[in-house]
Chain A
Amino acid sequence: MAKLDHETLLGSLHQQFGDKINKLEGAFGLLTIETSKDTIIEVLRYLKMAPELQFIYLTDITAVHYPTHDLSMAVVYHVHSLVNQTRIRIKVFLDGMKPEIPSATVLWAGANWMERETYDFFGVIFTGHPDLRRILNVDDMDVFPMRKEYPLEDPNRVDKKDFFFGR
């Protein structure tokens, strides 16, 4: 089957969702679109179910923290159409103070651990997730370490100063 090109894919999405989706600057030839948390599940459902698209494979869910943006938390979905040899990236920008988004576990069971990881590192709340708790970090951790307000190193430490290593 021929590879699905970006124009056809974008046209199909615009026809279905109108101005609820926007094209963003993509990198590495990857079509990137933006949508809102109200439409994200419908967009994903359409991508997965539409017979001419068949984006049946959820590659990844993660997040990006942009501390200078008004909507400072971006949740990123990568989905892959195996039959059409095409991938697409979907971003949803959320309020960093209250990052909440519906869970994609209604479409892919495999979204479960990806969303737990995104919650673990960024504190994004996936509403409707069956078991939203930390997956990689220790259970009693009280921060979300991939947020950029979290310091890379403990600034109060004195035992690893360059002075002790002759630097």
Chain B
Amino acid sequence: MSDIKLAPAPPGVTGSGFFATTLDKAVGLARANSLWPLPFATSCCGIEFMATMGATYDLARFGAERPSFSPRQSDMLMVMGTIAKKMGPVLKQVYVQMAEPRWVIAVGACASSGGIFDTYSVLQGIDEVIPVDVYVPGCPPRPEAILDGVMRLQDIVRSESVRRRDTDEYKALLESYGIYKHG
């Protein structure tokens, strides 16, 4: 008997030869277990992320097998490290290039709040330029903390409505960051 655990099925109605659930839950299940990460690493948190991707901690266990180094094929932007104000527009452009649905994790104190760099050249948290879903504290956070952040994001993704990205609230959120959707 294998001890591999499969992701639990969402709540639904089950019977002989059928299983019924809502589309939201089925899509959420699929999305949450196949998040493709885009690492945006600028300093020491990126080194912790390398350990997280490696064999010991193995982020691939959570469906993030394929780190994408193109924003166009990724779902989960992981910002790890100090973002200088000059890097802000670059980060925003990377975010805008990602296809919907997209999520953002701010890993570590610097990405979350500027960290110890309370100074003229450093962005005081990436949420000044792009919306953030999960913040991972730590300076730098251990791989366990980064994994926990990914799992918290999976919770968010699993419960997200398939129509959330079409709502006026979501549009208003993006517009508050100066990002306008076309079409």
Contact = CB atoms under 8 A, between A and B. Distances in A.
Nearest to A140: B85
A165 to B, nearest CB: 11
Interface string B118-146: 11110000000000000000000000000
A1 B120 CA distance: 47
Given A138-B85, A138-B86, A159-B113, A153 B121 contact: no
Contacts, number: 22
Contact of B118 (A136, A143, A145, A154): A154
A54 B86 CA distance: 39
A138 to B, nearest CB: 5
A137 B120 contact: yes
Contacts of A159: 113
A160 interface: yes
A143 B113 contact: no
A153 B120 CA distance: 8
A165 B57 CA distance: 29
Contacts of A154: 118
Contacts of A141: 85, 120
Interface in A133-162: 136-138, 141, 143, 145, 150, 152-154, 157, 159-160
A161 to B, nearest CB: 12
A160 B121 CA distance: 17
A160 B118 contact: yes
B118 to A, nearest CB: 5
Contacts of B119: 152-153
Nearest to B120: A145
A153 B86 contact: no
B113 A145 contact: no
Nearest to B116: A160
Contacts of B86: 136-138
Interface string A46-89: 00000000000000000000000000000000000000000000
Contacts of B85: 137-138, 141
Contacts of B118: 153-154, 157, 160
Interface in B1-52: none
A143 to B, nearest CB: 7
Contacts of B113: 159-160
A137 B119 CA distance: 12
A154 B121 CA distance: 12
A90 B121 CA distance: 29
A143 B121 CA distance: 11
Nearest to B89: A138
A141 B123 CA distance: 13
Interface in B78-110: 85-86
A74 to B, nearest CB: 21
Closest 3 CB pairs of A and B: A145-B120, A153-B118, A138-B85
Interface of B: 85-86, 113, 118-121
16 contacts: A136-B121, A137-B85, A138-B85, A138-B86, A141-B85, A141-B120, A143-B120, A145-B120, A145-B121, A150-B120, A152-B119, A153-B119, A154-B118, A157-B118, A160-B113, A160-B118
